[in-house]
């Protein structure tokens, strides 16, 4: 037991002795004389008229952890760490003075720094093992590890006393020592210096972008991930990624043009290692209700790094289809891992994130490989698949939580991408005035969007009724727009591209007749959304006839538009009066 522990226990012992004395005095005062105890007969307890209230359990006293005061914080922690930093700075200043005055040579300087750091490391370990866990010991070991890495930097980069390969070996030994001490002491500070310092060794010793430096970093990263997962140090795992990823990019920039296949293999290997780091932490921290920030940051950064680097390398090498295949392969891997995560004892948020990453990469792959209506078909197909998965997942909420809603949102996003592409390129809004360039592409693009929306209307009606109704409205609107574009393109556009009068007359009549049909169907079936949709379409037809047709059409076409509109509106009013009158 250390002196600090004895100081913390001393007030508790005094308080306990005081309470014991009070209890003894109270017992002596409450006890009757011996004669009264012998003469008093035992009286039976009379029965109670009403039952006793339920007894309450006695409160359990739990000792509270002692509060750390300013004296202990400053004396036990701050002084120790400030002392460790002072030792390192003192060594550095001493080396600087010695160099300026020429007292010692380069080899002597390096040896003194190495011996000083080693002695400090040994002293910190001895202090911790023999005198207990103290901040002074942790500060000494952390400062010693930092000093050893600085010594390696000076010996290899500044003085070139040892080659880079020997520097890598020495850095590995320092990292192993730091990781072992951190695991034994359960110290994140020592782990950060030892593990991250080992990963930085190729940079410190100037190993460059050789295969040797890459191999060393890979081995150090594997060991670091194993140690950090063992102790469940998630933030240090993310730190290992932040230290190793820039080195991987530097190596990639120097080697992808010469050895493309090997470079892609290295990227795939590091992607797998980073995924193991993220999912391994999730498996170790079972039962967590929240998605750890370190896990999702690592998964996001890993997907962006590996996907972008591989695509860039293949595209620069003149293989655009292979670049798209690389993205598609990563997308499939994320989707499979997401399905695996949802079925394992892992936070459901992790599975959702993996699936979202896979879907995002899939959308990018589609946009890179496909074009025109084929791209719309691909995105609409993904929307259908995701809607189907959402209905399947919604049947087991105890296993998948709120992932069904996320899949439904992803399905809506893909359908929005498909419809947006169709409205931007295949059938833009001005098509109802001027027609389209290729009516076949417009029919395919708008048709698959309508089919995907109507599939959602029937597939989601039980699990997500509101989404099903939205899909119904969207599918009907897309079909109406497709029919309108077909009317204008086939009837209302000449070879020179000028609008024909008769096409706009037919379009106005079509909108009015469709609105009237929706109103009548809604009245007969008592479906309010059909009545509202029909009224909205009739209003749109009225606005078109009284604005565009009145201003742009010739006299005869204008007359026909108003003649076609009037009787249909009268029929709609008559249907409403009869429908509500009969219901009333």
DSSP string, 121-147: HHHHHHHHHHH-S-HHHHHHHHHHHHH
Three-state DSSP at 493 gives strand
The domain spans of the chain are 370-487, 500-584
- Burial of residue 130, with CB atoms counted within 10 A of its CB: 0-12 exposed, 13-18 middle, 19 or more buried: exposed
Lowest-pLDDT range of 162-176, 183-197, 288-302: 288-302
pTM of structure: 0.64
Using pLDDT thresholds of 50, 70 and 90, give the confidence band for residue 345: low
Specify the residue for token string 């995105």.
379
- For 384, how many CA atoms within 13 A lie in the half-sphere containing its CB? 15
pLDDT digits (tens, 9 = 90+) for 513-534: 998 888 888 888 888 888 888 8
Over 60: is that where the pLDDT of 583 sits?
Answer: no
Which structure tokens are listed for 272? 């797998």
Cα–Cα distances (Å) from 197 to 87, 171, 185, in that order, read 19, 8, 18
Query: What radius of gyration do the chain's Cα atoms show?
Result: 39
CB proximity list for 571: less than 8 A, separation 6 or greater: 516
Q: What is the DSSP string of 159-205?
A: S--S-HHHHHHHHHHHHHHHHHHHHHHT-HHHHHHHHHHHHHHHHHT
Using pLDDT thresholds of 50, 70 and 90, give the confidence band for residue 52: very low
Looking at residue 14, its pLDDT comes to 72
Using pLDDT thresholds of 50, 70 and 90, give the confidence band for residue 582: very low
Which structure tokens are listed for 312? 């860039």
Please give the residue that has the higher pLDDT: either 53 or 501.
501
**Closest-CA residue to 448 (of 419, 490, 477, 426):** 419
**Closest-CA residue to 368 (of 316, 334, 421, 327):** 327
**499: β partners:** 493
Going 245 to 246 to 248 to 249, the CA torsion angle's sign is positive
**What's the CA angle centered on 470, arms 464 and 471, to 5 degrees?**
85
Over 70: is that where the pLDDT of 493 sits?
Answer: no
**Closest-CA residue to 340 (of 411, 267, 276, 408):** 276
- The rounded distance, in Å, linking the Cα atoms of 6 and 354 is 51
Which structure tokens are listed for 381? 């197909």
Cα–Cα distances (Å) from 50 to 44, 57, 242, in that order, read 17, 21, 72
CB 336 within 8 A of CB 276: no
Cα–Cα distances (Å) from 560 to 55, 268, 487, 517, 566, in that order, read 91, 68, 17, 20, 10
- The rounded distance, in Å, linking the Cα atoms of 220 and 178 is 12
Specify the residue for token string 């809004």.
429
Looking at residue 310, its pLDDT comes to 93
- The rounded distance, in Å, linking the Cα atoms of 334 and 14 is 61
Three-state DSSP at 219 gives helix
Lowest-pLDDT range of 57-61, 250-254, 497-501: 57-61
CB proximity list for 79: less than 8 A, separation 6 or greater: 136
- The rounded distance, in Å, linking the Cα atoms of 331 and 121 is 47
CB 176 within 8 A of CB 217: no
- Burial of residue 3, with CB atoms counted within 10 A of its CB: 0-12 exposed, 13-18 middle, 19 or more buried: exposed
pLDDT digits (tens, 9 = 90+) for 256-277: 888 889 999 999 999 999 998 8
- The rounded distance, in Å, linking the Cα atoms of 295 and 34 is 73
Specify the residue for token string 């089919």.
451
Using pLDDT thresholds of 50, 70 and 90, give the confidence band for residue 58: very low
CB 178 within 8 A of CB 122: no
- The rounded distance, in Å, linking the Cα atoms of 91 and 111 is 12
Over 70: is that where the pLDDT of 368 sits?
Answer: yes
- The rounded distance, in Å, linking the Cα atoms of 489 and 501 is 12
pLDDT digits (tens, 9 = 90+) for 373-383: 999 998 999 89
CB 220 within 8 A of CB 201: yes
Which segments of 545-554 does DSSP mark as H helices, in order? Answer: 550-552
């Amino acid at each position: 037991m250390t002196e600090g522990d004895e100081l913390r226990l001393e007030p508790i012992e005094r308080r306990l002795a005081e309470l014991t004395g009070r209890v003894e005095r109270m017992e002596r005062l409450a006890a009757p004389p011996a004669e009264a105890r012998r003469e008093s007969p035992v009286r039976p307890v009379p029965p109670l008229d009403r039952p006793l209230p339920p007894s309450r359990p006695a409160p359990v006293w739990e000792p509270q952890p002692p509060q750390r005061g300013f004296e202990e914080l400053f004396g036990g922690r701050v002084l120790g760490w400030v002392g460790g930093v002072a030792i390192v700075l003192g060594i550095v200043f001493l080396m600087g003075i010695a160099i300026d005055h020429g007292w010692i040579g380069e080899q002597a300087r390096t040896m003194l720094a190495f011996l000083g750091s080693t002695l400090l490391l040994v002293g910190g370990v001895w202090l911790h093992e023999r005198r207990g866990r103290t901040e002074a010991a942790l500060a000494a070991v952390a400062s010693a590890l930092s000093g050893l890495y600085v010594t390696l930097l000076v010996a290899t980069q500044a003085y070139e006393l040892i080659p880079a390969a020997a520097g890598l070996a020495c850095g590995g030994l320092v990292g192993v020592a730091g990781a072992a001490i951190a695991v034994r002491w359960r110290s994140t500070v020592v782990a950060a210096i030892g593990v991250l310092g080992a990963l930085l060794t190729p940079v410190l010793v100037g190993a460059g972008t050789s295969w040797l430096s890459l191999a060393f970093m890979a081995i150090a990263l594997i060991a670091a991930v194993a140690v950090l997962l063992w102790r469940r140090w998630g933030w240090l795992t993310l730190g290992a990624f932040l230290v190793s990823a820039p080195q991987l990019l530097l190596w990639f920039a120097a080697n992808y043009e010469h050895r493309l296949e090997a470079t892609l293999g290295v990227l795939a290997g590091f992607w797998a290692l980073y995924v193991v780091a993220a999912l391994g932490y999730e498996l170790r921290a079972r039962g967590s209700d929240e998605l750890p920030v370190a896990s999702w940051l690592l998964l996001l950064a890993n997907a962006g790094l590996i996907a972008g680097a591989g695509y860039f390398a293949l595209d620069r090498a003149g293989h655009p289809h292979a670049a798209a295949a690389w993205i598609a392969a990563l997308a499939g891997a994320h989707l499979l891992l997401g399905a695996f995560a949802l079925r394992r004892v892992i936070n459901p948020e992790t599975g959702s994130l993996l699936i979202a990453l896979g879907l995002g990469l899939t959308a990018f792959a589609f946009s890179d490989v496909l074009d025109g209506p084929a791209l719309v078909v691909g995105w609409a197909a993904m929307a259908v698949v995701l809607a189907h998965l959402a209905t399947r997942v919604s049947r087991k909420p105890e296993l998948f939580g709120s992932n069904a809603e996320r899949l439904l949102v992803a399905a809506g996003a893909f359908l929005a991408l498909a419809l947006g592409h169709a409205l931007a390129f295949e059938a833009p809004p001005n098509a109802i005035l001027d027609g389209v360039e290729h009516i076949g592409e417009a029919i395919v693009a708008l048709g698959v969007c309508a089919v995907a929306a109507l599939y959602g209307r029937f597939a989601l009606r039980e699990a997500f009724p509101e989404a099903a109704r939205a899909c119904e409205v969207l599918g009907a609107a897309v079909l109406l727009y497709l029919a309108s574009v077909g009317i204008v393109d086939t009837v209302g556009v000449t070879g020179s591209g000028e609008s024909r009068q008769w096409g706009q007359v037919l379009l106005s009549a079509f909108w009015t007749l469709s609105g009237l049909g929706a109103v009548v169907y809604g009245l007969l079936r008592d479906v309010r959304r059909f009545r509202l949709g029909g009224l909205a379409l009739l209003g749109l037809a009225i606005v078109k006839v009284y604005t565009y047709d009145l201003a742009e059409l010739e006299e005869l076409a204008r007359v026909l538009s108003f003649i076609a509109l009037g009787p249909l509106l009268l029929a709609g009013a008559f249907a409403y009066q009869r429908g509500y009158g009969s219901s009333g």
